[in-house]
């Protein structure tokens, strides 16, 4: 992961009061790299002196190289990036974007793909749909939405819904028969889920309880609970002390202090930012470290995890 691509905002479309679609084109002409299905890009957003880096799934078809699209939800508890995009970014603006990477690939050997999304977790599924239809693959998609947003998601899915098993469920989690859905899937099925952690956890535990092998269950984590009590991080190799605010991640605080930390997904999934802990107790919030590694407490994923106490000493 080196370098960023300058991108120009070509078009902004309001899809719902809190949902906007942003279309980007290469700022200096030419074409974007071919994006992987389920891929995401990282935008660097500069609000005065404050620099925010946010990862967003591409919703444009993987083969579309003239235009990348993302859909951004403005969240009440936003750490700033999404609110900034909604309020301050306009058509014609130029932003820095890291080229797309995918931590959420489609399984090449799957006989059938079962996609289960909740809310804004639909975004990686939109690029999956384009790819699955291009491949002629067998799939079904279930989207769980709040009742008032059902028409919004139905409109987003409409281009893919011809002769396809795509359903938007607005009746709440209890009315969605997850166990029934997962128990009638043929051999060789893979399930993919993206959305609130409670939904992804339910898909994972239900599938495993029904005997699905771990390797056939895939989830895309994004936007884990970010906030927490403020604490101090001591970076021994850089010889610095960094204060981490309550609405800021450890990684953001490290970056704000000018230390270049490795990162890729910024959602606790990829493992790129793993850092050695020399002192202090960790509040682990990632999906990367094993339970044993979390218990040992020698490693932390600064993009989502925090200190469980006033101070952490890191080998950074």
Partner 1 sequence: MSDQGIKSRPAYGKITGDPAARHALLVVEGAGLPDELMAEGVDPSAFETWTVAHASTVPGAPVMDEAAGAVRPFRSARQLFSALEERLARETMGLRLCAAGTEPFLWDVFNIGAVAGLTRQEMQFAQMGPQARRIFCVHCRTVSEGITASIVTCAGCGASLFVRDHFSKRLAAFMAVQIDAEVPGEVPPSEEIYR
Q: Write out the residues near partner 1 by the rule CB under 8 A.
A: 109, 111, 182-189, 207-216
How many of the other CB atoms lie within 10 Å of CB of 12? 16
Nearer of residues 3 and 214 to partner 1, judged by Cβ = 214
Distance of closest approach, residue 137 Cβ to partner 1, in angstroms? 13
Instruction: For the CB of residue 181, give the shortest distance to partner 1 in the complex, in Å.
Output: 11
Nearer to partner 1, 87 or 209 (CB): 209
Of the pair 190, 284, the CB lying nearest partner 1 is at: 190
Cβ 175 to partner 1 shortest distance, Å: 23
Q: What does the alpha-carbon distance between residue 258 and residue 182 come to, in Å, rounded to a whole number?
A: 47
Q: How many CB atoms lie within 10 A of CB 73?
A: 18
The residue (of 6 and 188) whose beta carbon lies closer to partner 1 is: 188
Q: How far is the CB of 133 from partner 1 (least distance, A)?
A: 21
3-class secondary-structure state, position 57: strand
Q: What is the dihedral of CA 229, 234, 235, 238, to 10 degrees?
A: 130
Widest CA span in the chain? 60
- Least Å from the CB of residue 108 to partner 1: 12
Q: Report the nearest approach of partner 1 to the CB of residue 223 (Å).
A: 29
Polymer length in residues for the chain: 316
Instruction: Closer to partner 1 by CB, 90 or 108: give it.
Output: 108
Query: How far is Cα 84 from Cα 68, in angstroms, rounded to an integer?
Result: 19
Q: How far apart are CA 155 and CA 291, in angstroms?
A: 41
Task: Give whichever of 56 and 212 is closer to partner 1, judged by the CB atom.
Answer: 212
d(CA 223, CA 55): 9
Taking a C-beta distance cutoff of 8 angstroms, is the pair 182, 211 a contact?
no
Selection from 245, 223, 173, 226 nearest residue 203 by Cα? 173
Instruction: Work out how close the CB of 203 gets to partner 1 at its nearest, in angstroms, rounded to a whole number.
Output: 13
Of 189 and 249, the one with the shorter C-beta distance to partner 1 is 189
Q: What are phi and psi of 111, to 5 degrees?
A: -85, -30
């Amino acid at each position: 992961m080196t370098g960023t691509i300058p991108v120009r905002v070509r078009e902004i479309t309001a899809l719902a009061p809190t949902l906007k679609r942003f279309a980007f084109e290469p700022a200096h002409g030419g074409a974007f790299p071919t994006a992987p299905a389920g891929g995401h890009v990282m935008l660097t957003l500069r609000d005065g002196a404050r620099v925010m880096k946010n990862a967003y799934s591409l919703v444009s078809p993987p083969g579309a190289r003239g235009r990348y699209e993302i859909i951004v939800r403005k969240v009440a508890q936003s750490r700033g990036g999404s609110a900034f995009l909604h309020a301050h970014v306009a058509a014609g603006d130029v932003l820095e974007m890291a080229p797309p990477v995918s931590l959420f690939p489609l399984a090449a050997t799957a006989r059938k793909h079962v996609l289960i999304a909740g809310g804004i977790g639909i975004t990686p599924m939109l690029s999956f749909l384009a790819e699955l239809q291009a491949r002629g693959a067998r799939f079904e998609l279930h989207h769980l939405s709040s009742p008032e947003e059902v028409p919004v998601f139905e409109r987003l899915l409409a281009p893919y819904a011809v002769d396809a098993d795509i359903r938007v469920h607005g009746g709440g989690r209890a009315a969605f028969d997850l166990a029934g859905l997962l128990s009638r899937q043929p051999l060789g099925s893979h399930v993919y889920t993206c959305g609130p952690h409670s939904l992804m956890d339910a898909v994972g535990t239900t599938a495993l309880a029904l005997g699905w092998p771990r390797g056939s269950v895939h989830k895309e984590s994004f936007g884990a609970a970010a906030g927490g009590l403020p604490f101090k991080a001591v970076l021994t190799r850089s010889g610095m002390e960094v204060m981490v605010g309550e609405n800021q991640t450890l990684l953001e605080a490290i970056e704000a202090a000018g230390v270049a930390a490795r990162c890729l997904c910024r959602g606790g999934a990829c493992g790129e930012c793993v850092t050695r802990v020399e002192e202090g107790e960790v509040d682990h919030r990632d999906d990367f470290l094993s339970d044993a590694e979390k218990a040992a407490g020698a490693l932390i994923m600064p993009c989502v995890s925090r200190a469980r106490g006033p101070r952490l000493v890191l080998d950074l």
